Amino acid sequence: MRRSALALTAGAVVVAIGLSARAQSPAVRFSAAPPDEAVVELMEHARADLPRVSDNRGRPFAANSPSDRNGAVIPIVEARTIIDTGFASGAARWCQLDWQQNLRFLLNEQRARGIWDERQLAFIGVLHAHAMSAVLDANRDRSCGAGDRLLIGDYLRRRWH
């Protein structure tokens, strides 16, 4: 059975975090961007799950909207950033570290940009959750070691500062 680009990418996340955590740049990102195929796959899953999320009035969001460009709720370039953050959150959760602060920083940053409507912000949260799940799934058969935990914790501390 062929593994999807998403599974291969998620499986490499902890290694990429480890490599990035050793770099001293505060603007660290994963060493290899996920391939378009993996980004699109995650975006499609997130869009399909968007109706499970409700707006402030309790109404579910539509999976598709006339304002979506080429079927995308947000541009693929923006989605990469969200996925990158979701991968880091997944690695943090895998190591039983505080991943929720990573999500809060992401959502606060995206809200502050003032370019997304409520539906797009909900999509960003769902996309983050899917990226996080991909890392957890890819690492379900191995434990987070002390070295992994240290590197991931360091990466998260430097990520937003």
Q: How many domains does the chain have?
A: 1
Is 34's pLDDT higher than 60?
yes
pLDDT given for residue 8 in this prediction: 46
For 139, the domain range is 5-159
pLDDT at 32 over 80: no
Q: Which of 5-14, 46-55, 84-93, 115-124 has the lowest mean pLDDT?
A: 5-14
What are 61-75's pLDDT values in tens digits? Answer: 888 888 787 778 999
Looking at residues 15-32, what average pLDDT do you find? Answer: 41
- So what's the pLDDT on residue 19? 40
What b/e string do you get for 87-104 counting C-beta neighbours within 10 Å, with b at 16 or more? bbbbbbbbbebebeebbe
Give the residue from 89, 101, 95 showing the smallest Cα distance to 150. Answer: 95
d(CA 107, CA 115): 12
Q: Where are the alpha helices (DSSP H) in the chain?
A: 5-11, 13-22, 36-49, 76-94, 100-113, 118-138, 146-159
Q: What is the mean pLDDT of the chain?
A: 81
Q: Record the tokens describing residue 136, joined without a space.
A: 């957890």
**DSSP state letters, 33-75:** PPPHHHHHHHHHHHHHHGGGSB-TTSPBPPS--TT-BTTBSS-
